[in-house]
Amino acid sequence: MSQIAAVFKPDSKALIAYLTVGYPDLEITEKAAIALARNGVDIIELGIPFSDPLADGTTIQRASYRALQHGTTPRQCLKIAEQIHREINTPLIFMTYYNPAYHFGLDAFCRQCADAGVSGLIVPDLPPEEGPELEAVAQKNKLDLIYLLAPTSSDERIRLVAEHSHGFIYLVSVTGVTGARDRLPEIWTGLSPGSESRP
């Protein structure tokens, strides 16, 4: 069982916090992650800033833009993850888009993620049909590759994601980008936007 999967116990919930690496700066990212872990967060999701975060709402888009303006790179994200991992035992997940990982080199990226203490990856623009190469490299490096489901997902899509997702399934509880909402669809009453659920 992976470190991420071990967080999800029967009849319990996990609190997963998100931070954009480099916003407002790298030092505060590290301090915030350590503070979250020491105050009971079960998993920390570290967002690698990307110039075209198409699945994210305005809040994360602005955070990514500011982090990129400060020069935050995937290599710096790996370094910060390693520093955080030295201080806490809380599982770390990178949320990234496929382009930065591909540009870095999938083998090198996954190997360095594992070396830095990262336990899993969320790649929102990578559907499972296009994921076998990254899946294989992630599994080789003992990283959970976490796929997404949406309210519009068909039964076939749910089965496909359940077969290929490791650690948990990321349940996108509303259609469109992430961000604040006045209300949730009735089907997801009781969940919050960006909710995560294990398979």
CATH number of the domain where residue 23 is located: 3.20.20.70
DSSP 174: S
Exactly one of 42, 45, 135, 196 is catalytic; name it. Answer: 45
**Cα separation, 172 vs 85, whole angstroms:** 27
Taking the model in full, what pTM does it have? 0.87
Q: Is there a catalytic annotation at residue 115?
A: no
The phi, psi pair for 75, rounded to 5°, reads: -65, -40
Q: Is there a catalytic annotation at residue 45?
A: yes
Number of domains in the chain: 1
For 41-69, how does the pLDDT look when each residue is reduced to its tens digit (9 = 90+)? 999 999 999 998 877 788 899 999 999 99
**Cα separation, 145 vs 152, whole angstroms:** 21
User: Per the structure block, which two tokens stand in for 6?
Assistant: 């071990």
Exactly one of 11, 25, 30, 56 is catalytic; name it. Answer: 56
Residue 49 domain boundaries: 5-197
**Cα separation, 176 vs 152, whole angstroms:** 11
Sites in the chain below the pLDDT cut of 50: 188-199
